[in-house]
Amino acid sequence: MAEAQLQQFLEKVRQLNAFVALSEAMPELRSALRDCSNHHEVVSLAAQFGFDIGRRWGDTNPPAASPDASNLLSSACPPRGEERVDRLADGRGWRLERIHSCEACSPPGFWYDQSEQEWVLVLRGSARLHFEDEAEPRDLCVGDSVLIAPHRRHRVITTDPDPGTLWLALFASADA
């Protein structure tokens, strides 16, 4: 383990310990923590009290947004609850997109039902996806990918807060 990673790990542990201590001293915080149903809610609650506990092992600070569009990780976070889609390349029957989302979720009752096949890879952050044919949502983190067949209904439950979740998505038509 490199020294920088060790220091990052130790800082996260310090912040987690401080957040736990604060929750033990503040019954209303402990109650709010108990009401959290997933990682994103805990990270968001901790941030309200000045703790940065969301970074996972090996995550680095995202690069600052720059005019260099060739850097897939260089993207300013969209507003909370939104996503930004950048078409990177396309051809006959396919397109490649970078999707940057920030605490985004599908509207209540909405399911994606696409005629295209979609392969998606999480480049930064994490997300929860729910497929209509699966009982439980899937948790995805950096490096996880999913191949979504045409017309397989799915929805986004949540994505990370700032700096957000960054996806690489490849769409292909059935006849491509």
Instruction: Give the pLDDT of the chain (176 residues) as one tens digit per residue.
Output: 578 777 878 888 888 888 899 899 999 999 999 998 777 788 778 888 888 887 665 555 555 554 445 678 878 889 999 999 999 999 999 999 999 999 999 999 999 999 999 999 999 989 999 999 999 999 999 999 999 999 999 999 999 988 899 999 999 997 75
Extents of the domains making up the chain: 3-48, 82-172
Superfamily grouping for domain 82-172:
Jelly Rolls (2.60.120.10)
Global pTM reads 0.67
Indicate if the alpha-carbon torsion angle 124, 50, 43, 148 is positive or negative. negative
Q: Which region, left, alpha or beta, applies to residue 9 given φ > 0 means left and ψ of -120 to 50 means alpha? A: alpha
